[in-house]
């Protein structure tokens, strides 16, 4: 090794140390300290660091109880010894104090100022850009049926899928957002049948009804007529089961499905017409929600590939056939049951389609990871899918991830499209925009805005409220939506965060008006207030928050972080004047903090798919 090489290495080590967060440095040094003081080699996972609680002095706290065994001294003594070591060996550690078994470390202001400087000068603070060699992640979300409009449950799905994609991108992944449209099957034929029987040739144009809603109306109509027919048949002495199987509308829908599979021109024509109406409707809803896709798959195309794969599996002895010629997978070895893959009449089931879609996707893209954003009612389905793909020899089978999220429930229970007990996506968004508009007009803060600008702001706030409401709760938990109590615009809400952003922008505009130039390479000579330090600390944790949101697939973690930051800023805003502050150095510090908070809010909210307004 040449001298030059050694220099290179030590340079890069130095650079790394500088870039390392203070927690990592301290963690390393604690391992050193244990070695030096107590001659024990410990794993760094034993080092429990946490943020110092507000009521104590300090920034970072070490829990020393795990080391008492090694030191054979009291917790207080042990803490003091480690504290001494850190103070001597880590320049950022200014002083320390010990409370019972807790070692509170005070980090120097210089360190926090350097953090602020790097955050404020970095235009992509907290974000890791993908590179050529980054992992390619495909995220499937939305996945609607084309027989009814989107409802609140779909909204949760879409927002989670979109936000998850943004979070993965921010963690340096390449992301392909995809949608599998469930555009075929008996449920689609039900609305087609109802339209043909009772539609009188209605179209979205003739009725003025949005296409997906029009088709959805016929899906509901089908169910109503079907139930009437069953009742009549039972009155005539049929058994319930027979009645359900032989009701005229069910027979009609089944016949349509058979004709569809046989590519009957008239049925195909009706199918594509009605699906066209639905797609036009979905496009409007997606656009309003602000979600999009890079690639759309259609079940009507992929289910045949799935069938091929199942038949191949049968030929290769992976699956087996019963006497009625239905095809099955035996998963008892995996602790599961038998699973049907092709019905006795040879038609395919839900699972078949997902096998075909998976194959297509991995042929189309060099996917490193596949994530399915689908409700937790399908946990079993994805467990099975993973095993089946693996059995079929697709090495990606084992690695697929089911992003399983909870249901949105109403006070009276689960939403059911057929029974009309749903909160419609379009209606809900429209209502919220209306609330937003009224509030905004009452407050009169958008004077001087053109009607278009104002309308855009109402939308931004309404969608901010809706999205934040859905995303702030842990994805895997069921959540309750009470239509009686409309979604809040005060407190821990999207508008509260947006408002804080608008406040910051307003201050910065006024600073610019007053010809105040921001100096983003701060050098501090006087003392920094605890509140100011606290804000810098929270800003410094943004990259960690982004990382954790990515690792845990949790938009909620991002939302919680932003809320914490914003709450802290509003307290600061209330107590600390910025523009009026006479000390130029202090004024500059505060303005740079405000600007960095604003930037962090904007970046953070973007991870949730939420825009922030300049004024509100």
Partner RNA sequence: GUCUCGGUAGCUCAGCUGGAUAGAGCAACGGCCUUCUAAGCCGUAGGUCCUGGGUUCGAAUCCCAGCCGGGAUACCA
Asked if 541 is part of the footprint of RNA (rule: CB under 7 A), the reply reads no
Asked if 463 is part of the footprint of RNA (rule: CB under 7 A), the reply reads no
Render 78-141 in DSSP notation, one character per residue. Answer: HHHHHHHHHHHH-TTEEEEEEETTEEEEEEPHHHHHHHHHHHHH-TTTT-B---TTSPEEEEE-
Asked if 403 is part of the footprint of RNA (rule: CB under 7 A), the reply reads no
Q: Find tokens 């990515």 and name the residue.
A: 550
Asked if 577 is part of the footprint of RNA (rule: CB under 7 A), the reply reads yes
Give the side-chain half-sphere CA count within 13 A for 513.
Answer: 7
Asked if 477 is part of the footprint of RNA (rule: CB under 7 A), the reply reads yes
Smallest gap from Cβ 21 to RNA, in A, equals 14
- With CB under 7 A as the contact rule, the residue among 8, 9, 36, 56 that binds RNA is 56
- With CB under 7 A as the contact rule, the residue among 499, 532, 589, 604 that binds RNA is 499
- With CB under 7 A as the contact rule, the residue among 203, 245, 456, 492 that binds RNA is 492
- With CB under 7 A as the contact rule, the residue among 94, 579, 585, 602 that binds RNA is 579
Residue 98 phi, psi dihedral angles, 5° rounding: -120, 125
Asked if 104 is part of the footprint of RNA (rule: CB under 7 A), the reply reads yes
The 3-state DSSP class for residue 50 equals strand
Render 274-335 in DSSP notation, one character per residue. Answer: HHHHHHHHHHHHHHHHT---SEEEEHHHHHHHHHHHHHHHHHTTSSEE-TT--EEEE-GGGT
Smallest gap from Cβ 6 to RNA, in A, equals 37
Smallest gap from Cβ 447 to RNA, in A, equals 11
Nearer to RNA, 395 or 442 (CB): 442
Q: Where in 333-352 is the site for RNA (CB under 7 A)?
A: 337-340, 343-345, 347, 349-350
Angle between helices 350-364 and 379-391 (to 10 degrees): 60
Nearer to RNA, 195 or 489 (CB): 489
Smallest gap from Cβ 340 to RNA, in A, equals 4
Nearer to RNA, 312 or 322 (CB): 322
Question: Which one of 215-223, 235-243, 363-371, 438-446 is the stretch in contact with RNA (CB under 7 A)?
Answer: 438-446
Asked if 100 is part of the footprint of RNA (rule: CB under 7 A), the reply reads yes
**Count of helices and strands (H, E) across the chain:** 22, 15
Q: Where in 36-55 is the site for RNA (CB under 7 A)?
A: 48, 50, 52-53, 55
Q: Where are the beta strands (DSSP E) in 431-524?
A: 479-480
Asked if 245 is part of the footprint of RNA (rule: CB under 7 A), the reply reads no
Question: Which one of 18-26, 123-131, 417-425, 567-575 is the stretch in contact with RNA (CB under 7 A)?
Answer: 567-575
Q: Where in 354-383 is the site for RNA (CB under 7 A)?
A: 376-381
Q: Give the span between the Cα atoms of 400 and 389, in whole angstroms.
A: 10
Q: CB count, 10 Å around CB of 615?
A: 17
Tell me how far apart the 2 most distant CA atoms of the chain are, in Å. Answer: 98
- With CB under 7 A as the contact rule, the residue among 96, 102, 305, 403 that binds RNA is 102
Give the side-chain half-sphere CA count within 13 A for 167.
Answer: 27
Asked if 261 is part of the footprint of RNA (rule: CB under 7 A), the reply reads no
Nearer to RNA, 110 or 488 (CB): 488
Give all strands of the β-sheet with 408-410 in edge-to-edge order. Answer: 413-414, 408-410, 479-480
């Amino acid at each position: 090794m040449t001298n030059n090489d050694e220099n290179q290495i030590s340079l890069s080590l130095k650079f790394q140390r500088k870039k390392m967060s203070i927690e990592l440095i301290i963690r390393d040094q604690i391992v050193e300290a244990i070695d030096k003081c107590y001659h024990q080699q410990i794993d760094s996972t034993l080092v429990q660091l946490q943020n110092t609680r507000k009521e104590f002095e300090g920034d970072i706290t070490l829990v020393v109880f795990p080391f008492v065994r090694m030191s054979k001294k009291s917790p207080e003594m042990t803490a003091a010894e480690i504290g001494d070591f850190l103070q001597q060996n880590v320049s950022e550690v200014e002083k320390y104090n010990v409370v019972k078994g807790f070692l509170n470390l005070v980090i120097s202001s210089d360190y926090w100022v350097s953090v602020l400087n790097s955050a404020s000068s970095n235009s992509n603070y907290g974000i890791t850009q993908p590179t050529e060699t980054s992992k390619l992640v495909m995220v499937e979300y939305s996945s609607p049926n084309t027989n009814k409009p989107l409802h609140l449950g779909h909204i949760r799905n879409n927002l989670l899928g979109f936000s998850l994609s943004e979070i993965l991108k921010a963690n340096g992944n390449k992301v392909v957002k995809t949608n599998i449209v469930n555009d075929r099957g008996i449920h689609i034929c039900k609305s087609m049948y109802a339209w043909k029987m009772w539609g009188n040739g209605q179209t979205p144009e003739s009725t003025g009804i949005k296409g997906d809603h029009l088709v959805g109306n016929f899906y509901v109509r089908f169910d109503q007529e079907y139930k009437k027919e069953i009742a009549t048949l039972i009155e005539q002495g049929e058994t319930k089961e027979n009645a359900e199987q032989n009701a005229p509308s069910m027979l009609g829908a089944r016949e349509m499905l058979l004709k569809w599979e046989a590519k009957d021109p008239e049925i195909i024509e009706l199918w594509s017409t009605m699906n066209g109406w639905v797609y036009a409707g979905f496009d409007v809803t997606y656009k309003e929600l602000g979600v999009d896709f890079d690639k759309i798959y259609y079940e009507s195309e992929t289910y045949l590939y799935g069938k091929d794969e199942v038949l191949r599996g049968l030929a290769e002895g992976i699956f087996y056939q019963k006497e009625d010629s239905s095809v099955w997978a035996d998963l008892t070895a995996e602790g599961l049951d038998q699973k049907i893959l092709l019905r006795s009449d040879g038609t395919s089931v839900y699972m078949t389609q997902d096998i075909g879609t998976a194959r297509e996707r991995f042929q189309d893209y060099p996917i490193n990871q596949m994530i399915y954003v689908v409700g937790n009612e399908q946990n079993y389905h994805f467990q099975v899918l993973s095993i089946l793909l693996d059995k079929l020899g697709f090495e990606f089978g084992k690695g697929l991830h089911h992003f399983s999220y909870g249901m949105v429930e109403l006070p009276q229970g689960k939403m059911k499209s057929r029974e009309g007990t749903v909160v419609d996506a379009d209606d809900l968004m429209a209502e919220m925009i209306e609330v937003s508009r009224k509030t905004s007009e009452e407050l009169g803060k958008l004077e001087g805005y053109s009607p278009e600008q104002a309308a855009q702001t109402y939308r931004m706030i309404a969608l901010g409220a809706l999205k934040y409401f859905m995303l702030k709760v842990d994805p895997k938990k069921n959540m309750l939506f009470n239509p009686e109590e409309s979604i809040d615009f005060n407190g821990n809400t999207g508008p509260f965060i947006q408002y804080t952003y608008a406040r910051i922008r307003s201050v910065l505009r006024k600073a610019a008006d007053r010809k105040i130039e921001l100096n983003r390479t701060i050098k501090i000579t006087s003392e920094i207030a605890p509140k100011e330090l606290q804000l810098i600390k929270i800003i410094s944790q943004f990259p960690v928050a982004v990382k954790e949101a990515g690792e845990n697939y949790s938009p909620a973690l991002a939302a919680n972080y932003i809320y914490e930051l914003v709450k802290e800023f509003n307290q600061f805003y209330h107590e600390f004047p910025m523009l009026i502050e006479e000390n130029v150095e202090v004024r500059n510090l505060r303005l740079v903090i405000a600007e960095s908070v604003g930037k962090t809010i904007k970046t953070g909210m973007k991870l949730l798919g939420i825009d922030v307004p300049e004024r509100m």
